[in-house]
């Protein structure tokens, strides 16, 4: 059974346990096999300290992992191939074969077989998450075009998982340490952004952000900054009316209910003046308004977290990076941080189930 707060589904199911240390089992979908996904997964999991916090299962192919282990001169990386999710090698890196036929690997190339393989890995990892075989899912980058099929007709992971787990409201939240940035509109063309900025949508995203900060990050009374849509936050209506007509009324409504929400701030000077350091999270109006400053401040270290799901999903904040695939040049830090954040949120949600959201747990 799921507890629901403000339309927010909170996971209440017990997590799969690691018999050695009672640690979570984290699934990692391999992503596009011609991109840097396999390489950054291997590099991230080479750090044996990570096995002190979780047991990983790579959903993909042992042959693909072996290929990139050799291609990138990572021969010291060891893993166990498992045929059934009930036979996990705890305390070791596991690889679960999601397909049997060989995939023609062409690092750096966009191919249909690579997209099909990415879907098989994601689909089976998602099913394992549904069946509580794993505690969380970390998704390596996909190509949003070659993965499309009758079962996956979404702009990306976020929308697919929100649909699969029937999230009433979800939020793409970019995370690096104390920096957290969410967006009202995600993967939509820029010319459609203003028509999608409504009072209802801004309110939903703010409530989703607040709930996640409490339940997933353990912040008892979150302070949230809201950016304006227009240059200089509309300049009192001179450069646009969305701030006065839509954004500010929602902020005032929620502040009237005791929530610590501030703005709208002009987005151009907000990060330059380091104002984000005074808040627990920032809500931007559209994709690039939030992601450009985030990647400037936390490039190769940031994590994409899908807030608002009944399950835990994280991913690195970069794409397939075809230009460096298979060349042993990919930085694994974002993948490593995505794995650690998944573990942290699984643990935090368990504390919430015990102590309630926003409590100081010792």
Quick one: pLDDT at residue 9?
44
Quick one: pLDDT at residue 18?
52
307, 323, 340 - which closes a domain: 307
CA distance 268 to 229: 11
262, 286, 307 - which closes a domain: 307
Q: Residue 303 has which token pair?
A: 């994590």
Q: How far apart are the two ends of the chain, measured CA to CA in Å?
A: 27
pLDDT along the chain (362 residues), means of 10: 40 49 89 97 93 95 96 92 92 95 94 96 97 96 95 91 90 96 91 94 96 95 96 79 94 98 94 94 96 91 94 96 96 96 94 62 35
Does residue 8 share a domain with residue 150? yes
Does residue 157 share a domain with residue 191? no
Quick one: pLDDT at residue 10?
45
Does residue 164 share a domain with residue 96? yes
- Helices 62-71/37-46 angle, 10° precision: 80
CA distance 307 to 205: 10
CA distance 118 to 344: 26
Does residue 107 share a domain with residue 10? yes
Distances (CA, A) of 308 to 53, 189, 204, 282, 293: 24, 23, 11, 16, 23
Does residue 28 share a domain with residue 128? yes
Instruction: Say what the pTM is.
Output: 0.89
CA distance 274 to 118: 39
Number of structural domains, the chain? 2
Distances (CA, A) of 334 to 39, 88, 139, 142, 176: 12, 25, 12, 15, 9
Does residue 298 share a domain with residue 180? yes
CA distance 244 to 344: 38
Q: Residue 242 has which token pair?
A: 């969305």
Quick one: pLDDT at residue 137?
98
CA distance 327 to 323: 9
Does residue 143 share a domain with residue 17? yes
CA distance 54 to 334: 17
**Radius of gyration, alpha carbons of the chain:** 20
Residue 96 host element (H or E): strand 94-97
Does residue 291 share a domain with residue 205? yes
Partners of 175 in beta bridges: 180, 303
Give me the CATH number covering residue 80. Answer: 3.40.718.10
Does residue 344 share a domain with residue 302? no
Partners of 29 in beta bridges: 59, 139
Quick one: pLDDT at residue 234?
67
Q: Are 295 and 302 in contact (CB under 8 A)?
A: yes
Does residue 318 share a domain with residue 206? no
Mode of pairing for the β-strands spanning 223-227 and 260-265 = parallel
Partners of 4 in beta bridges: 9
Does residue 249 share a domain with residue 208? yes
Quick one: pLDDT at residue 329?
96
Please, which residues have CB within 8 angstroms of residue 322's CB and are 6 or more apart in sequence? 34, 35, 107, 108, 109, 110
Does residue 217 share a domain with residue 101? no
CA distance 135 to 129: 7
Domain of 73, in residue numbers: 1-169+309-362
260, 284, 307 - which closes a domain: 307
């Amino acid at each position: 059974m799921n507890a629901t707060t403000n339309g927010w589904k909170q996971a209440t199911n017990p997590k799969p346990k690691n018999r050695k240390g009672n640690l979570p089992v984290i699934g990692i979908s391999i992503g596009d096999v011609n991109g840097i996904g396999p390489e950054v997964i291997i590099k991230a999991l080479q750090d044996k300290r990570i096995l002190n916090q979780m047991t990983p299962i790579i959903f993909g192919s042992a042959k693909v992992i072996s290929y990139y282990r050799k291609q990138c001169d990572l021969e010291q990386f060891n893993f166990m191939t498992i045929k059934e999710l009930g036979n996990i090698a705890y305390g070791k890196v596991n690889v679960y074969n999601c397909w049997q036929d060989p995939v023609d690997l062409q690092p750096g190339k966009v191919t249909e077989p690579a997209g099909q393989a990415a879907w098989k890995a994601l689909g089976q990892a998602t099913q394992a998450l549904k069946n509580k075989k794993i505690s969380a899912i970390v998704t390596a980058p996909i190509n949003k075009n070659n993965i499309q099929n009758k079962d996956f007709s979404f702009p990306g992971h976020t929308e697919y998982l929100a649909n699969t787990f029937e999230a009433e409201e979800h939020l793409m939240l970019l995370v690096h340490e104390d920096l957290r940035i969410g967006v009202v509109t995600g993967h939509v063309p820029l010319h459609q952004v203003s028509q999608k900025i409504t009072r209802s949508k801004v309110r939903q995203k703010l409530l989703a952000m607040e709930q996640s900060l409490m339940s997933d990050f353990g912040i008892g009374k979150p302070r949230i900054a809201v950016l304006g849509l227009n240059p200089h936050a509309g300049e009192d209506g001179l450069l646009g009316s969305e701030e006065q007509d839509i954004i500010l009324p929602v902020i005032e409504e929620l502040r009237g209910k005791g929530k610590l929400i501030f703005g709208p701030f002009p987005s151009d000077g907000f990060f330059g003046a380091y104002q984000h350091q005074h808040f627990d999270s920032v809500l931007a109006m559209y994709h690039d308004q939030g992601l450009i400053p985030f990647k400037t401040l936390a490039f190769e270290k940031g994590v994409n977290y899908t807030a608002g799901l009944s399950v835990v999903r994280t991913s690195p904040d970069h794409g397939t990076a075809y230009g460096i695939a298979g060349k042993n040049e990919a930085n694994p830090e974002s993948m490593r941080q995505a794995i650690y954040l998944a573990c942290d949120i699984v643990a935090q949600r368990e504390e919430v189930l015990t102590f309630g959201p926003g409590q100081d747990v010792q």
